[in-house]
Structure formats: C-alpha cells, structure tokens
Structure 1
Amino acid sequence: MPNPNEEACLRACHECAVACLQCATACLQEADPKPMARCIALDTECADICQHAVASIARGDEHMQGICALCARVCSRCAAECGIHDMDHCKRCAEACKRCAETCIAMAH
C-alpha cells in the first residue's frame, strides 16, 4: 500500500502524463505545428517517463527513487518548454509538469 508521499506522486505523475499527451495532441493540431516540435517531443517523453514512474511506484520497485529523480528532470524540462508558449494547453501542461517534478523530487530523497 503506497504511503501518502507515494500516493501524491502517483496522482501527480498520472495527471502530468495526461496533460502532456493532451498538449502534444493539441500542438499537432495547430495551424503550423513545426515550431512546436520540441514541445511535442518533450511532451511525449515526459508522458512516457511519468507512466513508467506510476508503474514503478505502484509496484514499489527498488529503483523507484532513481526513476522519480529522472522523472523530475524530464518534467522540469517539459515545464520550461511548455512555459514559453502562450497556448492554454501548454500552460496547463507546464503547471502539471511543475507539480509532478516537485512530488518526484520528494520521492527521490
């Protein structure tokens, strides 16, 4: 059974993965998605690592802290990229990534 920190991280990682996938999809639907290529790439990478972190935490894996540390780094990069764009989906994604990075940092220590 996950402890409260693990529960918070599970929730934040799941919400971040969803926000990243929604952001990538919305970016692809922009009139000119080419300038959004880095955002889309980081969104998909971030969603993948967040989903991996969820699985690792749920299982209580021995490498959970390392996975959470990596997840925090990827989330921070994705938040920075999404944060420079004005679209609402990017702003929502940046906020979800920031929250996820914070909870993952707490898990990594």
Structure 2
Amino acid sequence: MPAPTSRTRRDNRAVLDALSRCVAACELCADACLDEEDPKMMVPCIRLDRDCADICRLTAAFIARGSDHAPHVLKECIEICQKCHDECAKHKHEHCQQCAAACQACVEACKAYAA
C-alpha cells in the first residue's frame, strides 16, 4: 500500500480531529461522572465513555496509517459513538452534554469520511 500523500493527510484531518475531540470529551465525562452525587447511577455512561474513547483512539490510528481495516473499525466507531451520544444526552450534567455533542460531531465526521 502506498504511503499517504499530503492530499490524503489533509482529507483525514477533519475526521482525525473529531476523533481526538471525542476521546478527550469521553475521558473528561467518565472522570466527572465519578464525582457526581450518585456515581452508581452513572455506570452505564462511564462504561460507554470508556468504550467510545478506546474505539476512537483505535479508529484514529487505523485511519492515520491507512489501514485496510479502517472501514471495519470506522463502522464500529460510528455505532459506539452514537450509543455514547444517546446515553450522555439523557443526563443534564454539563460534562455529559459536552460529551454528547462531541460524540455527535464524531459520528458525522466519521460518516462523511466513510462516504
């Protein structure tokens, strides 16, 4: 497989940026959920945050190196980001709302990249 050209890197920038922002938002949300009054109630959110951050990291790595497996990982990333968005959107905490927004932006960027 040929090395990525500068055009390919430029085309990847939007999705890589969205994935990076999603990782940061999910990590922040998971940590902030632990400080909520009833962290036990936040367990589904924390678990999805962690899964989402991990799949976004992996997806970014696959895309950045031009892996032939990136499309498969990208599909899973879209699914998990959507689930994380849906869970975080249920909560009124600012960190959850910010995470939901980052996940939605990531879903949109990943779908655009996949198209």
TM-superposed CA distance for 1:66, in Å, is 1.4
Distance 1:82 1:30 in 2: 14
4+ residue segments displaced more than 4 Å: none
Letter in 2 for 1:14: S
Please report the TM-score for the alignment, with normalisation by the length of structure 1.
0.95
AA partner of residue 58 (structure 2): H
Say which of 29, 47, 50 aligns to 2:53.
Answer: 47
C-alpha displacement at 1:47, in angstroms? 0.1
1:7-86 aligned within 5 A = 7-86=13-92
In the TM superposition, residue 32 of structure 1 has moved relative to its aligned partner by 1.2
Equivalent residue number for residue 87 of structure 1: 93
Identity of aligned residues (%): 44
The answer to whether residue 108 in structure 2 is matched with residue 102 in structure 1 is yes
Let me know the Cα RMSD of the aligned residues. Answer: 1.1
Aligned AA (1:36): M
Query: Greater shift after overlay, 34-43 or 61-70?
Result: 61-70
What is the CA–CA distance in structure 1 between the aligned matches of 2:82 and 2:39, rounded to whole Å? 22
User: What count of residue pairs does the alignment treat as equivalent?
Assistant: 109
> Structure 2 length as normaliser, TM-score?
0.90
CA distance in 2, matches of 1:72, 1:3: 21
Q: Distance in 1 between matches of 2:28 and 2:106?
A: 16
Consecutive unaligned residues in structure 2, runs of 5 or more: 1-5
Larger mean Cα displacement after TM superposition, 55-64 or 38-47: 55-64
Amino acid at match of 2:109: T
